[in-house]
Amino acid sequence: MKPINVGLLGIGTVGGGTFTVLKRNEEEITRRAGRPIRITTVADKNLELARSVAGEGVKLTDDAFSVVTDPEIDIVVELIGGYGVARELVLKAIENGKHVVTANKALLAVHGNEIFAAAQKKGVMVAFEAAVAGGIPIIKALREGLSANRIQWLAGIINGTTNFILSEMRDKGLPFADVLKEAQALGYAEADPTFDIEGVDAAHKATLMASIAFGVPVQFDKTYVEGITKLEAADIKYAEQLGYRIKLLGIARRREQGIELRVHPTLIPAKRLIANVEGAMNAVLVQGDAVGATLYYGKGAGAEPTASAVIADLVDVTRLHTADPEHRVPHLAFQPDQISELPVLPIDEVETSYYLRLHVEDKPGVLADVTRILADQSISIDAMLQREPEEGEAQTDIIILTHLTIEKNMNAAIAKIESLDAVTGKVVRLRLENL
């Protein structure tokens, strides 16, 4: 059987891992795919690095556009990243009738609708298992394994950097800034960690999962994004005392009026499996109407875990290479003419529970005032914790956990609580999910 020829764009960490795993498991992969899969051309700006990884017998170039137009190439693997040149290369590859495998969640979260439409028109596939949660086959599960289900919600720890930072803050009681420096020293965080710590990376991934789960267009611009930079060690400690852990979650939930799509620090009951995902690991919890809750756990980054997903896509595309395009799994799981226009709800319309921390004067009547304001907004209290003030202190912390309410009601309540004379500074507000 004629081998499938692959053009690899970018041979950094993931590209190098892909090359290594494909070579090491060549026999196994060929048995699964039905024909050999060979990387015949590598494009990278650093030709010396490319030569050291690829060795002899592979064509090297620093011109990626020559690869996507090469008639000998069947599949293009895009591992360059970013929105700019990667978009041009992917669209050019599609235009030239090539299938594309990519790990580029940012590209698909922002330009996915355009790319998938172009691929459908040309009758080629765009596979992106490696774009979400590294080696965990969550895209495959959502697109195929759970296709009998009406998916109700999903929640994921989908950024290893932030999960490592939150795990360390909890274990060591250290402030965010100190743990970030440690994460950078250990290589868990980039020199510029903005995309990770501000929640953007997780939002790209949550956007893609939501589109597949609910059959809606990719809508990154509608996603609510809040990172972990303002999270304080005190809140992690209080959450623990109340039986909760704080994780940065990507959440997508189906509601009657639309879809909730949000990324933010979230309290989760400590007894939940997903609350015990520590360090740089990833996990995604999916609730389907037929199957109930299913949990997918594993390494969300790294050379070989991500390469595992890239190669799984290569095998899939190879198997379906000659199949009638009408009989392939659609990019977003639902047939293109069946994509729903269900809107993404603004954050004000989200329904969740809340953790509130108030710094108040230690005097009678304060709690009564606060509970009355919450009651006026139809917000009921689930649990409360009041810290005993130190000797000589005139102020203390009150922690309140609420039952479900709409975010705009909580915003109104917080504004009134902050206006009370006995309340000092801003109310700390975190969302809480029981999952």
Residues designated as active site: 205
Name the nearest CA neighbour of 213 among 94, 344, 405: 344
- With H, G, I as helix, E, B as strand and everything else as coil, classify residue 259: strand
Sequence-distant (6+) residues with CB within 8 A of 70 are: 7, 41
DSSP three-state, residue 72: coil
Under 8 Å between Cβ of 196 and 242: no
Tokens of 208: 């893609």
Contacts with 375 (C-beta within 8 Å, 6 or more apart), sequence order? none
Q: Residue 109: CB partners within 8 Å, gap ≥ 6?
A: 203, 204, 205, 207, 208, 218, 220
Indicate the DSSP class of residue 344.
B
Q: Is 48 helix (H, G, I), strand (E, B) or coil?
A: helix
Integer Cα distance of 408 and 143 in angstroms: 34
| Residue for token pair 């996603």 | 223
Residue 300 burial class via C-beta count within 10 angstroms: exposed 0-12, middle 13-18, buried 19 and up? buried
Three-state SS letters, 186-213: CCCCCCCCHHHHCCHHHHHHHHHHHHHH
**From its phi and psi, is residue 45 left (phi > 0), alpha (psi between -120 and 50) or beta?**
alpha
- 224-225/258-269 β-pairing: parallel
Question: What is the distance of C-alpha 397 from the center of its chain?
Answer: 33
CA nearest to 185, candidates 169, 161, 201? 161
Are 402 and 381 within 8 A, CB to CB? Answer: yes
Q: What is the torsion angle, in degrees rounded to the nearest 10, for the CA atoms of residue 148, residue 151, residue 156 and residue 159?
A: 70
Compute the 3-state secondary structure of the chain and give helix, strand, coil in percent, each to the nearest 5: 40, 25, 30
Instruction: Report the distance separating Cα 150 and Cα 138, nearest Å.
Output: 16
